[in-house]
Structures are given as C-alpha cells and as structure tokens.
Amino acid sequence: MSQDIRVPDIGDFDAVEIIDVLVSAGDQVEPETPLIVLESDKATMEVPSPLGGTLSEVLVSVGDKVAQGDVIARIDASSAQDDTPASQSSHPQAAGKEREAAATSEAETDADCDVVVLGSGPGGYSAAFRAADLGLKTILVERHAALGGVCLNVGCIPSKALLHTAHVIDEAAAMAEHGVSFGEPQIDLDKLRGFKQSVVDKLTGGLVGLAKQRKVEVVHGHAEFSAAHSVQVTQGDDSRQIRFRHAIVAAGSRTLRLPGLPDDDERIIDSTGALELRDIPSRLLVIGGGIIGLEMANVYAVLGSSVDVVELSDGLVPGADPDLIKPLTKRMKARLGHIWLSTKVTAVTPDDDGLTVSFEGEQAPEPQTYDKVLVAVGRRPNGDQINAQAAGLEIDERGFIPVDRQMRSNVPHIFAIGDIAGQPMLAHKATHEGKVAAEVIAGHKTAFDARCIPSVVYTDPEVAWVGMTEQQAKAQGVDYDKGQFPWAANGRSLGMAYQDGVTKLLFDKSTGRLLGGGAVGPNAGELVAEMGLAIEFGADAHDIGLTIHAHPTLSESVGMAAEAAAGTLTDLYIPKKK
C-alpha cells in the first residue's frame, strides 16, 4: 500500500518553489534521503523522506510551488521500511543502511561545523570567509602549510611578479630606440626569487589574518570524505574527523603530465618547477602554447634562455580569436627561438648532454637538445583525491565534480567550486563560485548567473577577452556587428611605443547589446573589465560610446571601438556602408 509523503512544516510559507527534484519514481530511498529542494525568498531547504522504501510516484517537478501538507510523492508501503529500529530489522543490509541513516542525522545535529571547506585556494578561502561573514560556523582544511592554493603560491601571483620583472627588462632595452640606453641587466636570481616569494608571503600571510578575524578555524592536513557528513583530515600521524552539515569541495587541480616522458628527470619541469626559478637554462623547450606556457616562455626568454615553443594546435592560445593573438605571435617570434605549431612531441630522451626531443607534424624539426623542458599542456581536477565515493559524491571521468547553478553536487548538502567544478580553470571564476556556494548554504536565493568570465594572457603584449569570441559567434551563427579600434591611432599607446594593439567589440545585431570583446596590447587585461560590466548590464554601442573615457588612456580604445560600431567615431575615417 502506498503512503503519501507530504511537505512538512516549512514555516510561514504558502507557495515555495521547487528548485530541484532529487528522486524519480522507482527509486529506493531511506529515511532522511532528500527528495526535493525548496527555495523561498529567505532560504533553501531540502525535504527529506520520512520513511524508507520504494517511491511509487513523484508528483512534483522543478518550478512547481508547494505548501505545507501538499503531497509530493508516494512511497510503496509494501517495500517501505518502517521506523523499526535497526536492531529489529530482518534484513542485514537494510539494518546497516538504517544505522548509516541514523548516523547521518546524528552527524547533522552533532556536527562540528555548519560548513567545512576542502582547500584554501581562491575558491576555498572566499567560500569560507563568505560563509563565516554570513554567520555560519566554518572550518577550512588545507593540506599545505600556506593558505592560498595554486593561485597564490604557484600560479597567478608568482607568475605575475616574474612577468613584471621581464616587462621592465624589455622596456628598458626598448628605450635605446628613444635615445636612452641602460647596460645589460645583471640578474641576481636569489634576490629575484626572494622578491617573488615576498609577494606570495604577503598575500598568503594576509589570509591567515583574515581567517582569524572571521573566526574561521583552519585545519592543516589532507582531507578525505569518510561518510556523507564527515571528512577525515590526516597530517603525518595525526588524524581528525570533522563532522559537518555542509561541505564545499574546493580541492582544485594539478598539472597534467605528458604520457611517455621520463618521470624522474629533474630537467623536465612543470609550471611549479618553472616558478621556482632554480636557474636560467641556456636552452629551454616549452611544450604547450597556451596561457601558462607562453607566460613562462616570456619570462625565461627575457631572463636570457633561448626558448622554443611547440604547440599541438595550429595557433597559440587555442580558443582566443586569431586577430587578437596575431600581435602576440609576432612579438613572440621576435623574442623566442622557434614556435612550432601543429606539432607533437613524440619522445624525450635524456642523456648527460641534455634532453633530446623528437617531434612529429608538418612543421616538425629534427630532434633538438635542451637543458630543460617545461611541460605546460593543461591541468586536471583533483576529484580523485578526496575519497568522494564515501560521501556518494559523483566524479566524472575527467575528475570534475558535476554541479548545478547553485554549485550543488549530486549530494545536496555537498557543493563544489573552482577548478574541480569545471572549466574555465581561473581564479576569479573560483572566487565567484565560492561566494555563490556559501550564500546558498546560508539560505540565500542565489545562483551562478554571471554572463561572462574574462580571460587574460599576461604576456607582453597582453591579450584579453570576455564574453563571446568572434570564433564562437561565427560557429554559432550569431549575427553580430563589430566595432574595432587600432591602437596605432591611440595617443597613449603611441606614447608607449606600441602600435600593434587592437580593441574590438561584438554587438548582437538584433538587440544591439554587447556580446563580447577583447584587446591586445599593454594592459589589455585591465580593459576587459569595462567590457564585462557592459555585458552584465546589457549595454549597447551607444551606452559605451557615450560614456566619457579619459584622454589619453588605453581605455579610450574601448569607447572608440563602440563608436566605430555606432557610426559616431571621429578619430578614424570609416567610409559609410552603402
């Protein structure tokens, strides 16, 4: 006989929206298995099953509104396990499950914290701090001594400190053309390394202070799920169990290794090894012409290495528009030894003289010998390192944790954010997602609904874009108008002796709204912030063109690209379309 499962007392609400239905007819459920997720103006809440058994019907869908007493599902009484205590159950497996369920609810009421956050990168620390600011008792777990994750310790921050150094060396050399000559740079590697580390330490130390101020407890050790509501944190011989009501997994990603390469040769490094700056190799090969590979190639080439780059696809920075990449490729060709595109590394053979690398492809050179090889072919998420199955957490075949727009995994009280939750693997995406997850847990009606995420290549020149690329617009058959402004006509850029830059904006032909934009040139990364805001606000070419931009600035190129699209540009002569 089927029994009705009704919406329990949910407070003063009479029409609350269902934002997730977690079960289907035929599903076997246990007492406390979440069935649906409700969202009111004030809170998000799960409705659990009061009984165990097989659901014969699920009567609601996402988007329906329900109130206390409404029937949401029917459970088959013939197979339903009643409230018989586990010890009296006739089925040993069922008894085990009941014990597990009882332990689960006990863990929920008896939890050490409202939220445990696994990983202290930009996603994890933002989530933890936001959760604490919202009044949730929060524990942040990090396996390394320093907080800050990849970004602060071995990613965004140290790479930018070194790129700044490279930029200054480049600029100083370029001044010779304007009548100001400096001597050859004398590089004190220890001091340079020390500068880079001081920047990292300042930021990671700052996080310790911010955690203390917010009363976020920081626990150091490797965290693994031990059950749906608990993680085991291990450091050396010490081990501690943390029971939680909610978890946010922010365990990030690690570098991908190329299969077939010798794995115990110190001369084959990844980005972390490159950022250690142990020496400046005379001959360096960078495998991978993406963002990280090119940033490191830029640094080492300016510091004095002879750098070659090999890339499997037919252009640098796959995914970016080729017209924005062209000035970068031109500059890189002048700065580097060789750039081999559409070329694959087939073998690396180590000997005392160096690493001999063999290539395959139309442009492939003869085998070349290098002192070091930097592998920068991508990153893989750390989903395989947290014992996800103990919590019933789904991990896809690539190691990502699939999540919905609220950053919720298949286990409703466990969330995932940042690199481990999907592409693009960028710090600012992780931060944004971290805040969404914390707010959802605190009961806010929120979701990840950003229209765009900017990308920046911090090379010299910088390349940056946000929203839809022109390649994507073409591939998706989107009808667009393009406004473009060459930096050769921008006074500020000319004063900086840079003529190759360009800013472009793409507008939807039917709505007039900005779809995407990008720029290449010094500080291009700063310019896409305005474009991102314009996309979020649904601005059109007139909105941007009529915004007064300071003169002379590089940001004027954004205003003028918009004017070019609006037909109001006076700084260039653009014949009217007939």
Contacting positions for ligand FAD (CB under 6 A): 118-124, 141-144, 149-151, 155-156, 159, 222-223, 250-253, 271, 292, 382, 385-386, 418-419, 425-428, 430, 458
- What are the structure tokens assigned to 208, written together? 């310790």
The response to whether 293 counts as a known ligand-binding position is: yes
Q: What does the alpha-carbon distance between residue 425 and residue 86 come to, in Å, rounded to a whole number?
A: 45
The response to whether 294 counts as a known ligand-binding position is: yes
- By CB neighbour count within 10 A (0-12 exposed, 13-18 middle, 19+ buried), where does 259 fall? exposed
- By CB neighbour count within 10 A (0-12 exposed, 13-18 middle, 19+ buried), where does 170 fall? middle
Task: Choose between 5 and 417: whose C-beta lies nearer to ligand FAD.
Answer: 417
Min separation Cβ 271 and ligand FAD, Å: 4
CA angle at 487 for the pair 427 and 181, rounded to the nearest 5°:
90
The response to whether 288 counts as a known ligand-binding position is: yes
Min separation Cβ 75 and ligand FAD, Å: 37
- By CB neighbour count within 10 A (0-12 exposed, 13-18 middle, 19+ buried), where does 435 fall? buried
Q: What does the alpha-carbon distance between residue 231 and residue 240 come to, in Å, rounded to a whole number?
A: 8
Min separation Cβ 122 and ligand FAD, Å: 5
Task: Choose between 48 and 289: whose C-beta lies nearer to ligand FAD.
Answer: 289
Task: Choose between 156 and 320: whose C-beta lies nearer to ligand FAD.
Answer: 156
Which one from 178, 229, 413, 551 is the annotated catalytic residue? 551
Task: Choose between 31 and 281: whose C-beta lies nearer to ligand FAD.
Answer: 281
Look up residue 327 and give its DSSP letter: H
Task: Choose between 252 and 412: whose C-beta lies nearer to ligand FAD.
Answer: 252
Task: Choose between 118 and 277: whose C-beta lies nearer to ligand FAD.
Answer: 118
Q: What does the alpha-carbon distance between residue 341 and residue 364 come to, in Å, rounded to a whole number?
A: 8
The response to whether 378 counts as a known ligand-binding position is: yes
Min separation Cβ 43 and ligand FAD, Å: 26
Q: Where are the alpha helices (DSSP H) in 84-213?
A: 92-109, 122-133, 149-154, 156-174, 189-213
Contact 468, 516 (CB under 8 A): yes
Contact 218, 142 (CB under 8 A): yes
The response to whether 275 counts as a known ligand-binding position is: no
Task: Choose between 382 and 469: whose C-beta lies nearer to ligand FAD.
Answer: 382
Q: What does the alpha-carbon distance between residue 433 and residue 404 come to, in Å, rounded to a whole number?
A: 11
Is 551 labeled as catalytic in the residue annotation? yes
Q: What does the alpha-carbon distance between residue 309 and residue 290 come to, in Å, rounded to a whole number?
A: 10
Look up residue 462 and give its DSSP letter: E
Amino acid at 142: E
Q: What does the alpha-carbon distance between residue 500 and residue 481 come to, in Å, rounded to a whole number?
A: 22
The response to whether 425 counts as a known ligand-binding position is: yes
Task: Choose between 75 and 425: whose C-beta lies nearer to ligand FAD.
Answer: 425
- The sign of the CA dihedral 560, 566, 569, 575 is positive
The response to whether 191 counts as a known ligand-binding position is: no
- The sign of the CA dihedral 244, 127, 421, 145 is negative
Contact 441, 131 (CB under 8 A): yes
Residue the block writes with tokens 């874009």: 465
The response to whether 429 counts as a known ligand-binding position is: no
Min separation Cβ 399 and ligand FAD, Å: 12
The response to whether 184 counts as a known ligand-binding position is: no
Task: Choose between 235 and 553: whose C-beta lies nearer to ligand FAD.
Answer: 235
Min separation Cβ 7 and ligand FAD, Å: 36
The response to whether 221 counts as a known ligand-binding position is: no
Min separation Cβ 421 and ligand FAD, Å: 8
Min separation Cβ 368 and ligand FAD, Å: 24
User: 256 by DSSP, 3-state: which?
Assistant: coil
Cβ partners under 8 Å of residue 236, min gap 6: none
Min separation Cβ 97 and ligand FAD, Å: 27
Strand blocks (E) in 250-335: 253-255, 268-269, 283-287, 306-310
C-alpha to C-alpha distances, 131 to 407, 436, 440, nearest whole angstrom: 14, 10, 9
| Half-sphere exposure for 285 (CA within 13 Å, toward CB) | 25
Q: Where are the alpha helices (DSSP H) in 343-481?
A: 427-441, 470-475
Contact 283, 305 (CB under 8 A): yes
Residue the block writes with tokens 């169990």: 241
List for the chain the helix, strand, coil content (%; round to 5).
35, 30, 40
Residues carrying an active site annotation: 551
Known binding site: residues?
160, 288-295, 311, 378, 419, 425-428
Known binding site for NAD(+): residues?
288-295, 311, 378
Known binding site for FAD: residues?
160, 419, 425-428
